[in-house]
Amino acid sequence: MDREDKGDFLLKKVESTISEFHMLEEGDKVVVGVSGGPDSACLLHLLFSLRERYNLKLWAAHLNHCIRGKEAEEDEKWVKFFAGELGIPLICDSVNVPLLVKEKKLGLEAVARQVRYNFLEHVVNKVKAKKLALGHTASDQVETVLMRLIRGSGVDGLGGIPPKRGNIIRPLIKVFRWEIEEYCKRYGIIPRRDSSNKNTYFLRNKIRLELIPYLSANYNPRVEEVIYRTSELLRVERDFLDGITEKVKNKVVRKISGREIRLGIFALAKLHLCLQRRIVRYFLKKLKGDLEGIEYSHIEQILNLREKEGTKIVYLPGEIRVWREYEELVFKKGEKGEERVPYFFSYLNVPGKTEIEDIGLVLESEVLSEKPAHFPENPDEIFLDMDKISSPLYVRPRKEGDKFFPFGMKGKKKLKDFFIDLKVPKFERDRIPILVSGENIVWVVGYRMDDRFKVDGKTQRILHIKVYSNDS
């Protein structure tokens, strides 16, 4: 096959990929991410060749990460020249990634990737494009699969980079790097070379420059094709399992809100273990926004909560906590330090407002000379016989051995047993204020008052107290 045939073959291969994954539609506006390297240069040239076939409107986008100094500036000049030669409009920008790394205290690769995607999506929105084309190749796919295998990954990770996700398309995902090099030679494209790609400090480079050549030389000369084919099989299985997960996930949901998700333990346990893991991952991603930092061990810890009694908590990246609360698995996103056991002590202002900053609540009290027409059934407010109370009233957390006489019930009850009966999780119990008169509990705030302080026929003065959030 001569060079011209190779050029035509690659064009047809990319056309086939575009068709298989429905990447482009007639008249699409497409932004192409162009670094100046062989992959992105080849991608821009190929889409330029296909512009009439799909009636495409193309833009090129280039970001200078300010990592490689003069070399990066030369990359930008080259991209401007190359896009200009093709007559494709170019949008450029620069971001000081090293400075952001210091500010965010994250890895260079992670910050660079985040910044790059933010920039490209900005360009997409700016020009009102329908698609964002990226130059990921089959060789990138192989490297990604090996990276994830080494670090530990399941079917989802080993399925590799998706050919299409949302508005992002990867037309070169079935093209190997050697094919791109041949294409560039065929059309006289002399791309830029990123010197940092030779640094084996980065795992991807180490895999590309050392591991793959070693496997190829000592085990299988076609090892890249074998790994790529395996990732294709796993990707198809991943898509199939995603479909099943989508159908069954709602059967285990008890409640979903902005910062909390509750799943039924028994409904989850009835499913195949594969689906249990996928459903947990699905709802973690929904709550967290991504699965960054979520590992296999985290998923197993969460599933092990099914067998645990009490309220053992699994702490995850992104301020996510998961615990078992009787027949439910509770996923909650909180702020830093939210899991800390608070300590508070405040005398109650009568009348007036008492703010308990550590738990974000306000207690407001007033003295009534007449009985209200009716007593509302609201756990967030109480009416007490003021003459039965010893001053001063104060608010504190629960303590070991607390007992009271719950309103409407006969006899004394341990506060611990009261919480257990109401299925209040342990860590929440420490945040519930206890209103006390002398040594006697008057009100388990927001739950139940003590029967000894209720209003009766002899009551002359009534103390009305209500509780609410300090952001209300």
The pLDDT value given to residue 181: 95
- Enumerate the H helices of 389-452 as residue ranges: 415-421, 426-429
267 and 297 in contact (C-beta within 8 Å)? no
As a whole number, the mean pLDDT across the chain is: 89
pLDDT digits (tens, 9 = 90+) for 357-406: 878 889 999 999 888 878 878 888 999 999 999 878 999 999 989 999 99
Average pLDDT over residues 251-279: 91
The pLDDT value given to residue 314: 85
| pLDDT band per the 50, 70, 90 thresholds, residue 186 | very high
pLDDT digits (tens, 9 = 90+) for 44-79: 999 999 999 999 999 999 999 988 889 999 999 999
54 and 171 in contact (C-beta within 8 Å)? no
Percent of the chain topping pLDDT 70: 95
- Residue 464 reports pLDDT greater than 80: yes
The pLDDT value given to residue 291: 84
Percent of the chain topping pLDDT 90: 62
- Cross-strand pairs, 469: 361
> Judging by beta carbons within 10 Å of its beta carbon (0-12, 13-18, 19+), is residue 86 exposed, middle or buried?
middle
Phi-psi group of 97: left, alpha or beta (phi > 0 → left; psi -120 to 50 → alpha; rest → beta): alpha
46 and 9 in contact (C-beta within 8 Å)? no
The pLDDT value given to residue 339: 52
- Edge-to-edge strand ranges of the sheet holding 328-333: 253-256, 260-264, 328-333, 320-325, 313-316
pLDDT digits (tens, 9 = 90+) for 341-360: 667 888 999 999 999 887 88
**Half-sphere exposure of residue 28: CA atoms within 13 angstroms, side-chain side:** 23
CA distance 328 to 254: 8
Both structure tokens of 429: 């119990």
> Judging by beta carbons within 10 Å of its beta carbon (0-12, 13-18, 19+), is residue 231 exposed, middle or buried?
buried
> Judging by beta carbons within 10 Å of its beta carbon (0-12, 13-18, 19+), is residue 356 exposed, middle or buried?
buried
Place of tokens 């920008």: 93
- Please tell me which residue, 316 or 325, carries the higher pLDDT value: 316
Terminal-to-terminal C-alpha distance of the chain:
74
Average pLDDT over residues 424-452: 89
pLDDT digits (tens, 9 = 90+) for 214-243: 999 999 999 999 999 999 999 999 999 999
- Residue 5 reports pLDDT greater than 70: no
How many CB atoms lie under 10 A from the CB of residue 39?
Answer: 23
- Residue 168 reports pLDDT greater than 50: yes
Average pLDDT over residues 244-253: 93
- Please tell me which residue, 110 or 179, carries the higher pLDDT value: 179
The pLDDT value given to residue 162: 93
The pLDDT value given to residue 267: 94
| pLDDT band per the 50, 70, 90 thresholds, residue 340 | low
- Residue 310 reports pLDDT greater than 60: no
Summary count for the chain: helices (H), strands (E): 17, 22
The full set of domains in the chain, from first to last, is: 3-235 (3.40.50.620), 252-333 (3.30.465.60), 346-469 (3.50.40.10)
Both structure tokens of 152: 């530990």
Average pLDDT over residues 166-174: 96
Average pLDDT over residues 109-123: 91
Which of helix, strand or coil describes residue 303?
helix
pLDDT digits (tens, 9 = 90+) for 74-107: 999 999 999 999 999 999 999 998 888 888 777 8
Residue 452 DSSP symbol:
G
- Residue 207 reports pLDDT greater than 60: yes
The pLDDT value given to residue 341: 61
Average pLDDT over residues 254-260: 84
The pLDDT value given to residue 2: 47
One-letter identity of residue 365: S
